[in-house]
Structure 1
Amino acid sequence: MSIKVAVLGCGSVGSQVVRLLQEQAGDLEARIGTPVELVGVAVRRLDAPREVEVPEGLLTTDAAALVARDDVDVVVEVIGGIEPARSLILAALENGASVVTANKALLAEDGPTVYEAAEKAGRDLYYEAAVAGAIPILRPLRESLAGDRVTRVLGIVNGTTNFILDKMESTGAGFSEALEEAQELGYAEADPTADVEGFDAAAKAAILASLAFHSRVTAADVHREGISEVTAADVQSARDMHSVVKLLAICELRQLSTPEGAEGTEEAVSVRVHPAMIPDTHPLASVRGAYNAVFVESEAAGQLMFYGPGAGGAPTASAVMGDLVTVARNRLAGTRGAGESAYADRAVLPMGDTVTRYHVAIDVDDRAGVLAQVATAFAEHGVSIQTVRQEGRGADAQLVVVSHTATDAQLAATVEHLRGMDIVREVTSVMRVEGGDE
Structure 2
Amino acid sequence: MRGVPHVGQVPGDAAGRQYVVVRHGEGLALWLLPRDEGRASDAQQAARERNARREVEEALARTEQTVSALREAEERYRLATRATHDVLWDWHFGTDRVRWDPGTGDAFGHATAVLDHQLGWWGARVHDDDRFRVVDKLVDFVASTGDVWKDEYRFQRADGSWAHVLDRGVLARDDEGRPVRMIGSMMDVTERTRELASMVEEARFRERFIGILGHDLRNPLNAIVLSARAQKRRGPLECTPEQHRQHAQRIESSATRMGNMIADLLDLTRARLAGGIPLRKGPMDLGVVCQQVVDELSAAYPERAIAVDVDGKAEGEWDAERLAQVLSNLVGNALEHGTPEAPVFLRCWAKGDHQVLEVQNPGTPIPEELRERLFDPFRQGEGEREQSRRNAGLGLGLFIVKEIVQAHGGIVEVASSEKDGTTFTVKLPRPPRPKVKAKASRGRTRTA
TM interval, shorter chain, is: under 0.3
TM-score using structure 2 length:
0.23
Larger Rg: 2
TM-score using structure 1 length:
0.23
